[in-house]
Structure 1
Amino acid sequence: MEAEVLFEQRGAIGLITLNRPKALNALTLGMCLAMRDALKAWAVDPAVTAVVVRGAGEKAFCAGGDIRFLHDSGKAGDGGALQFWADEYRLNTLIKRYPKPYIALVDGIVMGGGVGVSAHGSHWVATEKTLFAMPETGIGLFPDVGGTYFLPRLPGKVGIYLGLTGARLKAADCVHAGIASHFVPSAALDGLVERLAAGEAVDAALAAVATDAGPAPIDANRAAIDRLFAGDSVEAILAALDADGSDFGKAQAATLRTKSPTSMKFTLRQLQEGARLDFEDCMRLEYRLTQAIVTGHDFYEGVRAVIIDKDQAPRWQPAALEEVTPAIVNAAFATPPQGDLDLAA
């Protein structure tokens, strides 16, 4: 069997290829640990001046974490899900603090865990095949892998909008929102890798192949997003969307009503708090929330409805926003009895 993630030292770069194309390169625990070890080694290797990460196949950079494993492990109570999240969040932190350029070539779908191994690097390259989303509220989760930090730092209320609705963005929107640092046509990526391998400076190599991503569709709704997603509660946001009367407002209200009420309340508070926290504290906060997730109901129900049975009809508990009380939310955000995650482990 071929390895789930491939590592190559090609000239001046360390090259990582996520190698589960049939699973849209979804991350496993083994992949997270292997990436961590390689990144640590390359960080102190003077022959490696930059790291490039890409996905195998034609469809995806990385469509997320191994959700089915997290579901099964969480249900079994064997500790595997929490171990996965702990090591994934340590990897996200290593990438955020990496001492060398880290260039993610996001040529295809990038969601959830794939965002965590791309968005925190120094350079995020979109192509015409890029499709970005953080769809976690639709499976009873929350936008983790550092979403606590990067989503509230996007322009205006774009991060709140993306985190609550799970809206999908293509390349131009990713550039507009500040998620992507560059747009490079898919056909030019191999040439970019060879430039970097030859030792060309990262910014110069990117400037040689980057082009204009074109107009961003999200721009037409930016004023509406900033106005309608400004509420300090999910109820206030939903009320603003209902009162707006526009097609955009109606569509977003309908979308929110399909999401887990618990997840939406966790997500809004998560992003409100994340705007004031440093990266490490954001990751510790996310780990607290995962512990509420694995002992709760909605994650298992969301995965059942979307991934296992695929009936797209989750039965959330609680089923209404007003039933997700402040006590429920506060308990999820409290420091767990065993303390916060050690990100240096």
Structure 2
Amino acid sequence: MLPDGSENEVLTSSSLNSRNIILNRPKALNSLNPSMVQKISEYIKKFEDSDLCNNIIIKSTSPRAYCAGGDVVSIAKGVKEKTPGMSAFFRDEYTLNHALATVKKPVVAIMSGVTMGGGVGISVHAPFRVASENTLLAMPETLIGFFTDVGASFYLPRLDGEIGTYLGLTGYRLKGKDAFYAGFATHYVPLERIPLLEARLNELPTKSHDSVNAAIEEFVEESDGTFDFSLAPYMNAINRCFKYDTVEEIMDALNKETEHPEWAKTTIDTLNTMSPTSLKVTLELLRRGKKMQIQECFQMESYLAAQIILGPDFYEGISELLIKKTKNPKWNPSAITDIPLQQVIERFFDLKDPEATIQFSNEQNYFEYPFRKYGLPTANDIRDFISGSDLSSSEVVFTADEIVGIFENKYNFKVGVKEKIQFILKTNTIESSNKDFKSVIWKS
């Protein structure tokens, strides 16, 4: 039974060929509670099965927030009071995330305003994610004694280089176009054009993903020729420092960083405010997720959530940062050297609570998102091309301009493709363990 008033926390509407799922808990910045997760799941299933629905739009009534995360305050209080079944929220949330990642209909998430934690979970897995100038996106879980969840173990390792590791550990906030260039959003559309975009989606007479993509492309902001990404200057440093498999090695690399010492110092200061346990759990999670299919990732996270909410840092972080707001949590243990990796694995990864077992709504599973072609190409895509894995001959030589042209054609001259590839080739932010990486050479 849903709590009183919960039926108004998620609204729906029909507009010609579109069906809208509208988050409506503005005072809580649309933070997800169990009833909202249940309702969104029901509506996705209903609209997926409807012959009258050609596409699904997920958006918010609030100009301030798409969704600020999960209602972790209620979960923390429940754990403190020893209320049973607290891990069920995460299990059900991840079940919803998987349903969104595998829904047959085109889904468009309008990520206007604050999009954090659980809000990323109900957007990043959709085929289409639209960012605007007021988008503020982050995964800040290590700051509250939790870990980057809602499928982060799947999508963060598949971003460019080590940017996913950096974002997961530091909780760095991406603003506006950052969400697009980092790979969370597939399109960047100015706010004033969003109503026109929705009207265009309403008119589409087909359920084709290609048609939805073409419709969104009509409203994207035109290119000014710049790669407007706040982390661009630091990409090589991020790859250098965050490529390691232990937090200790990452901290050591940051201490030795010479190209961007001020950035490194700021990053160290940030990491030192995080829960040491959360940092180690998150890094192990991301390294494992890189080799897993999407169902495995969600199940791993569900088992992990059931354990970490029982640890001391979860309630401490929520209490000090979100309830008391003193911003002075006392982590236990207090240093990364005080918790060996093997202890992390045994305490959090090896234990599997049966109540956290997910009953997925369908059997779809994969190693890569099936609709990733609608976003920007990744550094891995460019690396694979240059290394010859996408070519019939490994003896071909291309200029940088030719590589840009090939990708522009492949992505139908999508805004942002040219700028991103030019940046990657110019700064050589592609890293590869392939010894034959230079079998295809590019010349400037």
Shorter-chain TM-score: what band?
over 0.9
Distance 1:95 1:325 in 2: 36
Q: Answer whether contact 1:280 1:343 (CA < 8 A) is retained.
A: no
Q: 1:333 aligns with which of 343, 349, 364?
A: 349
Distance 2:133 2:90 in 1: 31
Which aligned runs of 4 or more in structure 1 are off by greater than 6 angstroms? none
- Per the TM alignment, residue 85 of structure 1 is displaced from its structure 2 partner at its CA by 0.6
User: Residues 136-175 of structure 1: matches in 2 within 5 Å?
Assistant: 136-175=141-180
Distance 1:217 1:132 in 2: 13
Distance 2:84 2:212 in 1: 41
Distance 2:124 2:295 in 1: 15
Distance 1:292 1:99 in 2: 33
Distance 2:238 2:229 in 1: 14
Q: CA offsets, 1:137-162, max 9 Å, x none?
A: 00000010010100000000000000
Q: 1:323 aligns with which of 313, 333, 338?
A: 338
User: Residues 188-227 of structure 1: matches in 2 within 5 Å?
Assistant: 188-199=193-204, 201-212=211-222, 215-227=228-240
Q: Answer whether contact 1:128 1:185 (CA < 8 A) is retained.
A: yes
Q: 1:128 aligns with which of 127, 130, 133?
A: 133
Quote the residue 1:281 is aligned against: 296
User: Residues 73-152 of structure 1: matches in 2 within 5 Å?
Assistant: 73-152=78-157
Aligned partner letter, 1:209: F
Range with greater deviation from structure 2 (47-56 or 269-278):
47-56
Aligned partner letter, 1:248: W
Aligned partner letter, 1:203: N
> What percent of counterpart residues are identical?
37
- Per the TM alignment, residue 335 of structure 1 is displaced from its structure 2 partner at its CA by 4.3
- Per the TM alignment, residue 340 of structure 1 is displaced from its structure 2 partner at its CA by 5.7
Distance 2:69 2:222 in 1: 27
Quote the residue 1:343 is aligned against: 359
- The root-mean-square deviation of aligned C-alpha atoms, in Å, is 1.5
Q: CA offsets, 1:60-82, max 9 Å, x none?
A: 11000101111111222223421
Quote the residue 1:240 is aligned against: 253
- Per the TM alignment, residue 266 of structure 1 is displaced from its structure 2 partner at its CA by 0.2
Q: Answer whether contact 2:149 2:301 (CA < 8 A) is retained.
A: yes
Q: 2:29 aligns with which of 24, 29, 41?
A: 24
Q: CA offsets, 1:241-295, max 9 Å, x none?
A: 1121511111001100110000000000000000000111000110111122122
Distance 2:192 2:72 in 1: 31
* Number of positions where the alignment pairs a residue of Structure 1 with one of Structure 2: 345
Q: CA offsets, 1:69-124, max 9 Å, x none?
A: 11111222223421111110100000001111111001111000000000000001
Aligned partner letter, 1:303: I
- Per the TM alignment, residue 208 of structure 1 is displaced from its structure 2 partner at its CA by 1.1
Range with greater deviation from structure 2 (110-119 or 224-233):
224-233
Quote the residue 1:8 is aligned against: 13
Range with greater deviation from structure 2 (204-213 or 91-100):
204-213
Quote the residue 1:57 is aligned against: 62
Determine if the alignment matches structure 1 residue 267 to structure 2 residue 247: no
TM-score by length of 1: 0.97
SS in 2 for 1:118: coil
- Per the TM alignment, residue 320 of structure 1 is displaced from its structure 2 partner at its CA by 1.0
- Per the TM alignment, residue 211 of structure 1 is displaced from its structure 2 partner at its CA by 1.3
- Per the TM alignment, residue 339 of structure 1 is displaced from its structure 2 partner at its CA by 7.3
Aligned partner letter, 2:254: L
- Per the TM alignment, residue 188 of structure 1 is displaced from its structure 2 partner at its CA by 0.9
Q: 1:34 aligns with which of 39, 59, 63?
A: 39
Q: 1:27 to 1:212 in 2, by over 3 A?
A: farther
Q: Which runs of 5+ in 2 are unaligned?
A: 206-210, 362-444
Distance 1:121 1:325 in 2: 37
TM-score by length of 2: 0.76
